[in-house]
Structure 1
């Protein structure tokens, strides 16, 4: 049975790049997507054309039943070894004073609760205490967790701050169960998440103000994810790796 990698939100951006690199590393990849089947199928096709193995599985990580179905699909492929908690959303720019309860509930349900529930299912399969053979969980944080996103998306930043805390706490909880738990903290990356939040020109608008004078690429983040998931990072559990071109260390 092959080793399996689940990538939530794997149909685009960082998730798609991670799925493709994961397949190159030898994993059978579960490409999770919420709605865009065509995009997920393109990722699967790219993997299969390169000789890899992948399957697209629809599911909203904000819905527990969908998460259970996602992991059941992964069980059919082989032994789960890596979970990449990549799926996440942003909303339109706005101050906290204008945020609705519905907006906040959706942000935290998908970005935080979904990551918790996916990790729960991964642990139940990976834990050596539960008969598993170990594995790795890599969470997606954001430079916003450090910077706060005041005046624009404090809710998103707070959800990613929760992911940082979750990563550290869970790493300690399962450290002796054969499971590493880490996170990457991307900065400004060229993906369509900016357009989904109503800022399609964001990368072009702010690139000159970034320390490296450019945004990062999805593949640059994916390479960090694959390293954290690999045996090369076996003693790095609990680590949160900034992939932000120095942006996350600015005041």
Structure 2
């Protein structure tokens, strides 16, 4: 008889308790907003990204639509899919960067592009909501980074470029799941590709500013589960951590070393 992994609530609890600060706050807001819509159903219409209702007084919709969901299963599936991706992002770039991007450009940019396509290209007014736009944003970012070490994967005799994986998932999701927004998911994936390629890294405040804010407010000491700019897992731009080793204990080469990279 094959053995199947059993659900362990203690392991799930341990995972949730290890989530970094911004990740747990954003996930908690999604759950709280869903609970709030049970007695206050009008909140969905207030938060949804509906092109004809977006104006100067309602630009907040560009930030609220990823946090709002249509129903329980819509919310819970997005929370489960987003949690590991967002945790990885925050561990790599820090809590402040994650907060700035996911309460600002990562909602404004894909949402703005979606509105332009809906109103001026498709001539439609389809309202969207849900964190799946962030899921595909982060998936496309991860796929483009993985492309460097693993350019393609094989399906039978075919070799598929790794960076296309999110696009394949978007198409399959649009076919298999009713009432999902193909255009919205593509907008999210597009921003993810731009982020991973470095084209929109300028949206992040300079590291000196982030360090000043952290030290001035003592965020690392005051906030539990806070990820500092100086304590990220991979470094802000993918720099590997180093360990101080006494020079006398390091093996030496008789030839002069050569620097790699520019």
Normalising by the smaller structure, the TM-score range is under 0.3
Going by fraction, where is strand more abundant, 1 or 2? 1
Q: Does 1 or 2 have the higher relative contact order (CA < 8 Å, sep 6+)?
A: 2
- TM-score with structure 1 length normalisation? 0.25
Going by fraction, where is helix more abundant, 1 or 2? 2
- TM-score with structure 2 length normalisation? 0.24
